[in-house]
Amino acid sequence: MHGLGNDFVVVDALTNTIPEQQLSAVATHACDRNFGIGADGLILVLPSRTANMRMRVINSDGSEAGMCGNGIRAFAKYVFDRKIHTDPVLTVETPDGVKTLKLDTAGGKMRSARVDMGEPKLLRSEIPMKGDNTQVVSEPLKVGGSKIDITAVSMGNPHCVTFVDNVAEYPVVKLGPKIENHPSFPARTNVEFVEVLNQKEINMRVWERGCGETLACGTGSCASVVAGVLNHLTSRKVTVHLKGGDLLIEWLGDNHLYMTGPAEEVFVGEVCGAEYKQWIGDI
């Protein structure tokens, strides 16, 4: 499945069990685009005691994500289209708390979803980022012998946003990993490169922690809008143009961010027992 090209292997963990100690290895092999299925991450569909369903997202490098905006829309489509959950309002437990989604449906299928992504966190301790416990807004960061201005936001996972003149030509692949692994970010960080078109539109490319450059990032889009507002560059309702398509992001008066976008199912398959054992070893 994918949300604007940010793609995931979705596993029904209600009926299929992956041992916890093997989860990282399974995700790494499943997400391998040459020797596995190929994806940016692995999503587990799980039961919840605090919400309708629970979601876990394991990145392609085997690390676990705190929250994934494109992934949660794919998750919602999976459970609604298969009638695991039949109400157009869905609550999902994530490591960043319970998220509420309102689904746009037709003919028993989900077309898009509006997700309450919660409140942004802005203090260094919440990102996390080293230094005094202040907000990071248009602050210089030394990267590869030069300085770039950054704004840091957490949307359940860390984001470092920098504004550029021409994002299409910007060296995202060169600078992305350097910023992701910068010593200022003890848990690493996602990196958003943003070109402001006008108050209501931005172009964005993203280097995702644990994945590399992806075609879209929901939490990153939210963080970019927050950064745009904090830097007096955008309004609170912005269309974010990504390589994989568009997301509508709204930062409303309740201090919550709301993300609206589609999700698609691409194909269904099975991993044979022999291949699975090759990935994780004989259990």
pLDDT in tens, 122-171: 999 999 999 999 999 999 999 988 899 999 999 999 999 999 999 999 99
CA–centroid distance for 5 within its chain: 12
Same domain, 175 and 268: no
The terminus-to-terminus CA distance of the chain in angstroms comes to 28
CB atoms within 10 A of CB 73: 30
pLDDT digits (tens, 9 = 90+) for 213-242: 999 999 999 999 999 999 999 999 999 999
State whether 114 and 19 are in the same domain: yes
Distance CA 245, CA 262 (A): 9
SS3 state at 5? coil
Given the residues 68, 160, 211, 222, the one annotated as active site: 68
List pLDDT tens digits, range 176-218.
999 999 999 999 999 999 999 999 999 999 999 999 999 999 9
Indicate whether 283 pLDDT > 60. no
Q: Establish whether 217 is a catalytic residue.
A: yes
Does residue 132 share a domain with residue 31?
no
Instruction: With beta carbons less than 8 A apart as the criterion, state whether 185 and 158 touch.
Output: yes
Show the tokens assigned to 61: 């490098």
> What does the alpha-carbon distance between residue 236 and residue 258 come to, in Å, rounded to a whole number?
10
Band the pLDDT of 277: cuts 50, 70, 90.
Answer: confident
* Whole-angstrom distance, CA of residue 230 vs CA of residue 149: 13
What single string gives the DSSP state of each residue in 18-34? --GGGHHHHHHHHH-TT
Give pLDDT, residue 17.
86
DSSP 3-state of 6:
strand
In this structure, are 87 and 178 located in the same domain? no
The answer to whether residues 188 and 222 belong to one domain is: yes
Domains held by the chain: number? 2
State the average pLDDT over residues 266-280.
Answer: 84
**Is the model's pLDDT at 264 over the cut of 90?**
yes
18 and 114, same domain (yes or no): yes
For residues 169 and 238, give the distance between their C-alpha atoms in angstroms, rounded to a whole number.
22
- Domain with 30, as residue range(s), is 2-118+263-280
Percent of the chain with pLDDT over 70: 99
Q: Which of 92, 89, 85 minimizes the C-alpha distance to 113?
A: 89
Q: Count of CB atoms within 10 A of residue 147's CB?
A: 11
Q: Exactly one of 31, 160, 211, 217 is catalytic; name it.
A: 217
Q: What 3-state class would DSSP assign to 108? A: coil
For residues 80 and 155, membership in a common domain is answered with no
Q: Are residues 98 and 198 in the same domain?
A: no
Q: What tokens does 38 get?
A: 């190929």
* Concatenated DSSP letters of 112-156: EEEEEEE--B-BGGGTT-SSSSSB-SSEEEEETTEEEEEEEEESS
282: pLDDT strictly greater than 80: no
State the DSSP code for 169: G
Report how far residue 185's alpha carbon sits from residue 160's, in angstroms, rounded to the nearest whole number.
9
Look up 31 and say whether it is catalytic. no
This prediction has a pTM of 0.94
Q: What is the mean pLDDT of residues 238-261?
A: 98
Task: Let me know whether 78 and 136 are in one domain.
Answer: no
Q: Based on C-alpha coordinates, what's the Rg of the chain?
A: 18
Q: Is the domain of 236 the same as that of 273?
A: no
For 99-115, write each residue's pLDDT tens digit.
Answer: 999 999 999 999 999 99
- Considering the chain, what is the average pLDDT of its residues? 96
- Cβ-contact 195, 202 below 8 angstroms: yes
Q: Do 228 and 196 share a domain, yes or no?
A: yes
Amino acid at 139: E
Give the CATH number of the domain where residue 231 resides: 3.10.310.10
Query: Does one domain contain both 41 and 100?
Result: yes
